[in-house]
Chains A and B, each alone.
Chain A
Amino acid sequence: MNDGAQILLVEDSDDDAELTIRALRKEKVVNEIERVRDGEQALDYLFCRGAYGHRSFADPPRLVLLDLKMPKVDGLEVLASVKGDSRTRTIPVVIMTSSRELPDVQRAYELGANSYVQKPVKFEHFHEIVKQLGLYWVVVNHAPHAPAVTTQIVE
């Protein structure tokens, strides 16, 4: 039914990406995860261009997990583009980053981030946070113009 991913993970670090995907898969929150390595790819995906030219705006991801510190286009720039365009404005974007420097938090919320989460060092915490995020945004939250979710929840 939904050929796009339910979660778009924007993460330059392979290690973080693996940890995140593992957490999401392990808890069976969601299976369809698309991971991109930088801001440019993320924008291509979200705006259905370049390598993702076949995608459609009618089929947005239910959640974007966005790292801030990335090569080429950083997370805040991606956020600004997504929230500044009427076609993508409604996609929930959660900033997930190592930093919790105040200016970043402030800036992210100003640009319209839906949530700001610091990646904890401790794996259990990290695991828990990723799980909760997935559960909340993909399952609990009612997204605009998104298809119904059929993912099984195992708690």
Chain B
Amino acid sequence: MRIAANRSFSLAAGVFCVALGGLALAGWFTGAGWLVQVHERFQAVHYSVAACFLLLGLGLCAALHQLRIMALALASAAGAVALLCWVQVLLGADFGIDRVLTSPLPGREYPPAMSPLLAVTFMLAAISLALMILQSPVRSIAAAIFSAWSLLIGAMALIIFVLSAVVYSDPNTRMAVPVAAGLVMLGAGIAIRALQGSERSQRVEGSLRLRVAIGYALALLLLIGVALASQLAVQRLVASQSTVTRALRVRAEIAQLYSLLKDVQRGQRGFALTGEPEYLQPYHAGRRALLEQLPLLRGLFTNPEQLRRFQAIESLIERQLAQQEKKIQIRQAQGPAAAREQTLSREGERGMEEIQRQIMALQAAQDEVARQRIELSERAAFWTGLVNVGGILLAIAVVASGLVVLFRGLTARERAEEEVRQLNRVLTERSTALASLNLELAAAEEEARRQKQLFQSVSETASVGLVAADENGRMIFINEAAKKILGRGISESPAEEWSNDFQVWLPDGSAMVPPQDLPLVRAMRGEVVRDVPLLLRMPGRPEVQIVGTGIPLLTSEGTLGGGLVTFFDNTETLEHEAFLQQLIESAPDAMVIANESGVIVRTNAQATKLFGFEKSEMLGQPIEMLMPSRFHARHEGQRARYAGAPVARPMGVGLDLLGRRKDGSEFHVEISLAPIATRHGTLLSSAIRDVSERRRAQQALQTANQQLEQVNAELAAVNRELESFSYSVSHDLRAPLRHLMGFSQMLREDFGPSLPTEVHKYLSRIQDSAERMGNLIDGLLNLGRVGRRDLIRLPVDLRRITNEVREMLQSECAGRAVDWRIGQLPAVHSDPALTRQVLENLIGNAIKYTRGRSPAIIEIGFASGDGEEAIFVRDNGVGFDMKFSHKLFGVFQRLHSASEFEGTGIGLATVQRIVKKHGGRVWAESAPGAGATFYFTLGAATLPPLNEAAAIPVTQEVNQA
């Protein structure tokens, strides 16, 4: 609210300045003199002053609207104009800036340049406005200085105007009234805006602003009062001076009155004495003047005393005049004698003397009045000066004290802010310190609580028994574990009874422990006893083996304050020990367990048997005693390495391990090593077995194996040779055949028409031979491959393969009637590609050898034959004589000539090789002309018939048979 109101006032001040400057400038431009000089009593507003007002007013408005750049530019422009004017006056030079805008108005005196006072004021205004715009920290101070200054200057100008005094009539300091008003407004506007300050110090500033405002108001009131007082004083001065003037005038008039009266007297006397009429003329003139003067003079008297005196004089004068008139008439009427007589009567003389006397008195009184008035007037003049000078001094004092207040306020604000900051810092520091102190305290409490809790938890949850006694031999503490192990609670008896109370015996149970030897009792004497084995034999409870440790308790002064014994139930451990030894004894091998230093710590009866040493001879000795001395050094090194990374493993893999008996004889051993982690370090367990016998058998086996390997290697070499042979055959034998066929074909194609028929026939023979040779080679290679390749057994659907083979061989049956009879076929587990080759060969043969039969009957099925269930392929072809059946499956063996039935003599050899490779058998039944039946089995792989859906489709590429 207040800020908004302040802002409105600043804005109003700005607008006022803009209007003032703008109107004056407009007056200068348009020649409207009344705009430049509003009243004839006012000074004309100089247009550089008008320009400064316009620029500063606009700048203030722009600053209020946050147009900072524009406001800054306007303030700078105003400052520059003021600076130039000032420099101009200082140097007495003329930069011509006054004529930049306009020329002097016609008929008007060219106005004096901007006064230096005003120039300084405008510079101050520009600087404080700029600082305000820039939010400078010193803006308040600058604004205060400027506003005080402008207020002073403006107010003084106004006072001077009001007084119409001539004190400042110097043309350099004269100031127009609107300018003075504008300065006051501008100062107030900038000051209020700049003093608004930041919200941070609003509180300090609020009171400061209030004080400044009150100061301003007081200063204004004071100045107005001073002005009024001056006015009154001057009025009084003027009034008293006019009374002085009047008093002096009255005196002069009175003096004149008397002289006029004397003139009248002289004229009347002259006439009376001489009768000369020329004396009558001054008489009448004097008389006339007297009669005019009297009422005039009368109106001049203000003093009633003087007026009364004057009226007395007046009546005397009137009487005197009346007498003289009478004497004049007597002279005229009675002649000179009467007149002389009349004149000599001295009556007139006496009247004149009376008047003179009266006038003298009046004059003296009047002189007194004048003297008093002059005195009064002088006093008034003195007071007027005093009021003026005093008032101005007072105004300066008020403004100065306002400034002091302002500065002190600003300083106080800064100090207050600094104090607040300081206080905040101290507060922050103290809060931090307090917080950390609190934290430490809480931590300490927490620690104590934790310690206590820890002790409780430890003593109550410890599996170790704790019993404490004080220095008087009284048992004072026993924990839960101790109660459980001992089978009872605290004994109230003296220490001498404790052995009996708790039934503490020597470990071998031979006698009760003497009370003075109990660990607790020894601890109470100040001894430290460790790991004492004891036996507890409480009636009605199983015996308990314990191990106790006693330590003395010390008071805070360091004196003996009782003792504490800790003990644990060792029964199970001892039982474990016994169990372990039994376990080791039960092992079939000799067991030797050594510690990390290689010292034998445990062994069994088998070890005694194997090595011939007694158990007692081995325990505590280095393990190397059990091996030939030549291995000692090496073994120690290996033992150390093994201890670094212990894992269970056989020892010395691939090495001949030798043991040494007590009698020095050596024997082969096999040793299994296993690390056993214990709290006393890692033990090494060795299970040792005499393997002399086994080694002998192994050696024999190894020799046999080596021989076998040699044979295998030879076989593999042969196989490799065979392979490379096949490879060469595949490449090198086929190529010439291809060329043979190719070139003979080219011969036909290129020279066909010109060749005789015979040549064609021969060429055909060549080509046929080459083709046969090609087939032969392929067949042989296939046969070789079958022998070399590995079997891949998969479920095979024979029926599907059969159908596929039939399809493939369809071309061979072209133009023939073939009756296919395909019966139930079993599912088999065989090499799909090889199985297909078998069927290809057999079915191909059936088709070939039924040539000439119509219809040819080819039957494929599964049946018993020769005491075995087998797959068969039967035909009604030419058949063969069974006496040659032994040759049937030999390579290159044929039972028919090539001209009768073409063939290579490799197909059935291939079939037999495939079947044998499966572990099966192939055989044939036939008679010449009665067809043939070929049976085959596929070893264990032949399965009962299965439905087609379950079979895996066979799509692998199959070699040509």
Pairs across A and B, CB under 8 Å, 12 listed = A13-B735, A16-B735, A19-B746, A98-B731, A98-B732, A98-B734, A101-B730, A119-B734, A121-B738, A121-B771, A123-B767, A126-B741
Residues of B within 8 A of A120 (CB): 738
Q: How far is the CB of A130 from chain B (nearest CB, A)?
A: 11
Determine whether A97 belongs to the interface, using a CB cutoff of 8 Å to chain B.
Answer: yes
Q: How far is the CB of B892 from chain A (nearest CB, A)?
A: 19
Residues of B within 8 A of A119 (CB): 734-735, 738
Alpha-carbon distance between A146 and B738 when the two chains are bound, in angstroms: 33
Known: A15-B743, A98-B735. A122 touches B774 (CB 8 A): yes
Give the contacting residue for B738; candidates A98, A101, A102; CB below 8 A: A98
Give the contacting residue for B774; candidates A16, A19, A121, A124; CB below 8 A: A121
Determine whether B855 belongs to the interface, using a CB cutoff of 8 Å to chain A.
Answer: no
Determine whether B579 belongs to the interface, using a CB cutoff of 8 Å to chain A.
Answer: no
Determine whether B509 belongs to the interface, using a CB cutoff of 8 Å to chain A.
Answer: no
Alpha-carbon distance between A127 and B746 when the two chains are bound, in angstroms: 11
Residues of B within 8 A of A69 (CB): 731-732
Q: List 9 A-B pairs, minimum CB-CB distance, nearest first.
A: A121-B774, A15-B739, A123-B745, A19-B742, A123-B741, A98-B734, A99-B730, A123-B742, A98-B731
Q: Is the CB of A126 within 8 A of B735?
A: no
Q: How far is the CB of B683 from chain A (nearest CB, A)?
A: 56
Known: A22-B746, A121-B770, A121-B771. A126 touches B727 (CB 8 A): no
Known: A15-B743, A121-B770, A121-B774. A126 touches B738 (CB 8 A): yes
Determine whether B369 belongs to the interface, using a CB cutoff of 8 Å to chain A.
Answer: no
Alpha-carbon distance between A69 and B746 when the two chains are bound, in angstroms: 25
Determine whether A100 belongs to the interface, using a CB cutoff of 8 Å to chain B.
Answer: yes
Alpha-carbon distance between A68 and B734 when the two chains are bound, in angstroms: 14
> What residues make up the interface of A, taking CB atoms closer than 8 Å to B?
13, 15-16, 19, 22, 68-69, 97-102, 119-124, 126-127
Determine whether B570 belongs to the interface, using a CB cutoff of 8 Å to chain A.
Answer: no
Residues of B within 8 A of A102 (CB): 785, 789
Residues of B within 8 A of A13 (CB): 735, 739
Residues of B within 8 A of A127 (CB): 745
Q: Is the CB of A15 within 8 A of B734?
A: no
Give the contacting residue for A126; candidates B742, B744, B767, B773; CB below 8 A: B742
Which residues in chain B, 711-766, are within 8 Å of chain A measured between CB atoms? 726-727, 730-732, 734-735, 737-739, 741-746
Q: Is the CB of A101 within 8 A of B726?
A: yes
Most buried by A among B732, B742, B773: B742
Most buried by B among A98, A124, A126, A127: A98
Q: Is the CB of A101 within 8 A of B727?
A: yes
Known: A15-B739, A19-B742. A121 touches B727 (CB 8 A): no
The count of residues in chain B whose C-beta lies closer than 8 Å to any C-beta of chain A is 23
Alpha-carbon distance between A98 and B738 when the two chains are bound, in angstroms: 9
Residues of B within 8 A of A15 (CB): 735, 738-739, 742-743
Q: Is the CB of B737 within 8 A of A121?
A: yes
Known: A15-B743, A22-B746. A123 touches B730 (CB 8 A): no
Alpha-carbon distance between A29 and B494 when the two chains are bound, in angstroms: 125
Q: Is the CB of B741 within 8 A of A122?
A: yes
Task: Considering the complex, give the chain A residue whose CB is closest to the CB of B727.
Answer: A101
Q: How far is the CB of B771 from chain A (nearest CB, A)?
A: 6
Residues of B within 8 A of A101 (CB): 726-727, 730
Residues of B within 8 A of A99 (CB): 727, 730-731
8 additional contacts (CB under 8 A) given A15-B739, A98-B731, A123-B745: A15-B738, A15-B742, A16-B738, A102-B785, A121-B738, A121-B771, A123-B738, A126-B738
Alpha-carbon distance between A22 and B745 when the two chains are bound, in angstroms: 12
Task: Considering the complex, give the chain B residue whose CB is closest to the CB of A68.
Answer: B731
Task: Considering the complex, give the chain A residue whose CB is closest to the CB of B726.
Answer: A101
Residues of B within 8 A of A100 (CB): 730
Task: Considering the complex, give the chain A residue whose CB is closest to the CB of B773.
Answer: A121
Q: How far is the CB of B114 from chain A (nearest CB, A)?
A: 90
Alpha-carbon distance between A15 and B742 when the two chains are bound, in angstroms: 9
Alpha-carbon distance between A123 and B742 when the two chains are bound, in angstroms: 5
Residues of B within 8 A of A122 (CB): 741, 771, 774
Q: How far is the CB of A129 from chain B (nearest CB, A)?
A: 11
Taken residue by residue from 767 to 787, chain B's Cβ proximity to chain A (1 for < 8 Å, 0 otherwise) reads as 100110110000000000100
Q: How far is the CB of A90 from chain B (nearest CB, A)?
A: 28
Alpha-carbon distance between A13 and B773 when the two chains are bound, in angstroms: 20
Alpha-carbon distance between A127 and B738 when the two chains are bound, in angstroms: 11
Q: How far is the CB of A116 from chain B (nearest CB, A)?
A: 12
Residues of A within 8 A of B738 (CB): 15-16, 19, 98, 119-121, 123, 126
Alpha-carbon distance between A127 and B771 when the two chains are bound, in angstroms: 15
Which residues in chain B, 5-53, are within 8 Å of chain A measured between CB atoms? none
Which residues in chain B, 227-256, are within 8 Å of chain A measured between CB atoms? none
Task: Considering the complex, give the chain B residue whose CB is closest to the CB of A20.
Answer: B742
Task: Considering the complex, give the chain A residue whose CB is closest to the CB of B788.
Answer: A102
Alpha-carbon distance between A96 and B296 when the two chains are bound, in angstroms: 165
Residues of B within 8 A of A121 (CB): 734, 737-738, 741, 770-771, 773-774
